Structure 1
């Protein structure tokens, strides 16, 4: 549910803990009485003033910079008042409490509370108000949270492009093309007896082809952006002592998992997020897959299969030093069969041959899969490139904007509706009503991305994930 948008709100807008600077932010209407109570005078719009922040008895709580951004020229589109103080936890809590107390005090000039109804902001409420007041669209609002949460430089730069409106501009370009087509179709429906065929004269078929081409380009960049934001989950699977933990350590560049010659050392899930060309990969090391009577190891194996079944890609590790042994090869074949039966066809399984450094010089490595040595690093870079391939990553850094799974799904629905619209157009006048409906549905799906209209519960979910004060 959306927050009470008429209430003035206040929050500490910087991260918790100690820091050199901390910010308390207020957003609402007619903030002058509250500003006077805290600062002792009016503030010049958009100009920083260094002064004491006053307590109820006039004594200073702290000294710092105060700023006033009158509506609509502010982040939220409302009046915004900021106190930039020293970043101590106690100091900021005192200023927050003082704002709330001063808001409830009677203003001598009016006889009314200085700022009636002031309350602590809910998560993401400042950004939510910026969206509701038309300062940013929904995709840009999400980009704020993505920029804060970015785990790689590429993700941060892409989120910044989304925040600046690069993604939204492309969506609006698609929307404009859809609206033009809808106008043509509606005109044909409204004037069916006219001799001029509006759709043929305006090359509606050509416009649909151009729209499909534009949409494909946006989809490609959005998929890349979703990869930068979400990454993929890669699970390392195989028999005990195949080198799974060594591979995790080699990919991560750190000793994260215990490595031992004793089979079954890894009994629980060990995971680490790494980045390859800016793409986050969530790599999971699992217990060795085998029949075991050990109760603890059985739990680890069950957890391993749970991770495997939720993977976006699986690295099936084979020990080159044991691959010729009949029992080992038979066990690998059984695991391969289980992977094929328990994984969707869309989840790639990459065969990885480990311990290349221990392979005799006279024995060539297999032609299929990736052969490597976690000890020497040979083949690790090849595996990294292979992982990017299966993830669908293409290096287009300047054109990528950060996107979310819901954006990609919405664009897929647009693609489906446009395909149906193309089929209806080919059937000419008999299916013009259906053509108009498919174009309308395509426009609705695009509007979901920018939030021009949508369900309140969708907005609530999105903004509830923000931090307080943002």
Structure 2
């Protein structure tokens, strides 16, 4: 990735009104900008100065705290200037405009999303996994997610990746040395315990993958879609899971016309519960004599959107009315569920059917009996959702991994598996064994950014907020 030395500026605090707002500037030589803003005032590095912020005509915009960080002792590794004023949006925009005006001769420009953190990465202040953890910490939706993101930001995830790489490099060194000196005629695999070292690396990689996969749940959560016929209690179940009246509940079929999404947390795992319009067909309401109660346009659009959400679901909660049992309409709904998506058959209204709260693990799906109205059996559903998510309270540190981390770890595991197959052929395939170890190392290095394409870096940092 090409490093752009031009200084950048942006509002570093969230949009809206607040007690304090921050404008941040980063670049290699900020002395001309500092002189334009504050005259001959000397800013001592890492010390706060209370100063007026002035327009070019010397009129005052605001008064606040100025912090100057000299390179490389700053977040970005460059010189950094932070102006902390009152957090009104108009004040912040005026202050940013004044900074851009003061720095125009030096090429000062507005920062792109994530550009401050990108410069921290390019200046070796953070590796790529730590840089991503900055965004994850800002976006964390639970205390557990924030804690795991903080772990990654501190370098814990990067450390275990580096330890894995070191083990792979050590084994590569032994293999390459053997390939360079074939006249030694020694049984390399036996004398160096290459197979034992490889097994140790595989076990360590599996442990990291398991912790990262758990952390990925904390970051992204699961999309859980409530689907079923009208008036089976989907909205009531959403309210029961959320612990609040987030959806309108009436005895009138078709009350929910569009999706309602509520994020809840179960043991720190975010679950995006999506209530959808009830699914029915034109013939479901056919009256004697062939007269059909037509589904209106709004309800039809709602049903189409329901199926769109079902197709994107991580878990489907198929709600059925326990007081009336399964119907052919329920079977038709099941037939349209996508393959490979876990389905929980939720038998609601057991307060009317006489069933007791319970769980049945059956061949077609897990069946749970509950009453959303009475909040009976809700905890059984919560625990089943955690089971499907694969969540385990391990007591170990988790890393708030992203999908690309999991893919890299999975590919590294595949290369190690292939290396093990070559190792089984004794010394006859040492060159192929060495190549698989090299590919393993490349996959692991891509996590921390020691081996990453410019396109990948561009995508990662473009998803950050401006000012970070």
TM-score normalized by structure 2?
0.92
Unpaired segments ≥5 residues, structure 2: 283-293, 362-366
1:367/1:73 Cα in 2 relative to 1: closer, same or farther (>3 Å)? closer
Find the counterpart in structure 2 of residue 414 from structure 1. Answer: 412
Unpaired segments ≥5 residues, structure 1: 105-112
CA distance in 2, matches of 1:142, 1:269: 31
Please report how far the alpha carbon of residue 298 of structure 1 lies from its aligned counterpart in structure 2 after TM superposition. Answer: 3.0
Please report how far the alpha carbon of residue 274 of structure 1 lies from its aligned counterpart in structure 2 after TM superposition. Answer: 1.1
CA distance in 2, matches of 1:317, 1:57: 68
Find the counterpart in structure 1 of residue 19 from structure 2. Answer: 20
1:241 aligns with 2:231: yes
Q: Secondary structure at the match of 2:255?
A: coil
Map Cα deviations across residues 277-323 of structure 1 (whole Å, 9 max, x no partner): 11111111122233224143333222222211211111111211001
Please report how far the alpha carbon of residue 197 of structure 1 lies from its aligned counterpart in structure 2 after TM superposition. Answer: 3.4
From 338, 344, 361, the equivalent of 2:339 is 344
Find the counterpart in structure 1 of residue 96 from structure 2. Answer: 96
Find the counterpart in structure 2 of residue 127 from structure 1. Answer: 117
CA distance in 2, matches of 1:81, 1:275: 39
Find the counterpart in structure 2 of residue 463 from structure 1. Answer: 461
From 236, 246, 262, the equivalent of 1:272 is 262
CA distance in 2, matches of 1:55, 1:5: 28
Find the counterpart in structure 2 of residue 118 from structure 1. Answer: 108
1:63/1:189 Cα in 2 relative to 1: closer, same or farther (>3 Å)? same
Q: Is the 8 A contact 2:137 2:149 kept in 1?
A: yes
Find the counterpart in structure 2 of residue 34 from structure 1. Answer: 33
Q: Is the 8 A contact 1:238 1:317 kept in 2?
A: yes
1:99/1:191 Cα in 2 relative to 1: closer, same or farther (>3 Å)? same
Q: Secondary structure at the match of 1:399?
A: coil
Q: Is the 8 A contact 1:187 1:198 kept in 2?
A: no
User: Which piece of structure 1 moves more, 283-292 or 313-322?
Assistant: 283-292
Number of paired residues? 450
Q: Is the 8 A contact 1:286 1:304 kept in 2?
A: yes
Counterpart mapping for 1:51-66 below 5 A: 51-66=51-66
Find the counterpart in structure 2 of residue 219 from structure 1. Answer: 209
Q: Is the 8 A contact 1:20 1:86 kept in 2?
A: yes
Q: Is the 8 A contact 2:241 2:264 kept in 1?
A: yes
1:367/1:199 Cα in 2 relative to 1: closer, same or farther (>3 Å)? closer
CA distance in 1, matches of 2:199, 2:360: 43
Q: Secondary structure at the match of 2:182?
A: coil
Find the counterpart in structure 2 of residue 399 from structure 1. Answer: 397
Please report how far the alpha carbon of residue 360 of structure 1 lies from its aligned counterpart in structure 2 after TM superposition. Answer: 3.0
User: Which piece of structure 1 moves more, 372-381 or 88-97?
Assistant: 88-97
Q: Secondary structure at the match of 1:193?
A: helix
1:286/1:54 Cα in 2 relative to 1: closer, same or farther (>3 Å)? closer
1:166/1:246 Cα in 2 relative to 1: closer, same or farther (>3 Å)? same
Q: Is the 8 A contact 1:23 1:92 kept in 2?
A: yes
Find the counterpart in structure 2 of residue 428 from structure 1. Answer: 426
Please report how far the alpha carbon of residue 3 of structure 1 lies from its aligned counterpart in structure 2 after TM superposition. Answer: 7.3
Please report how far the alpha carbon of residue 364 of structure 1 lies from its aligned counterpart in structure 2 after TM superposition. Answer: 9.0
Find the counterpart in structure 1 of residue 43 from structure 2. Answer: 43
Q: Is the 8 A contact 1:238 1:288 kept in 2?
A: yes
CA distance in 2, matches of 1:393, 1:400: 12
CA distance in 2, matches of 1:157, 1:385: 23
Please report how far the alpha carbon of residue 399 of structure 1 lies from its aligned counterpart in structure 2 after TM superposition. Answer: 0.9
CA distance in 2, matches of 1:181, 1:380: 52
1:78 aligns with 2:78: yes
CA distance in 2, matches of 1:364, 1:395: 25
Find the counterpart in structure 1 of residue 251 from structure 2. Answer: 261
TM-score normalized by structure 1?
0.91
1:322 aligns with 2:324: yes
Find the counterpart in structure 2 of residue 151 from structure 1. Answer: 141
Q: CA RMSD in A?
A: 1.8
Find the counterpart in structure 2 of residue 10 from structure 1. Answer: 9
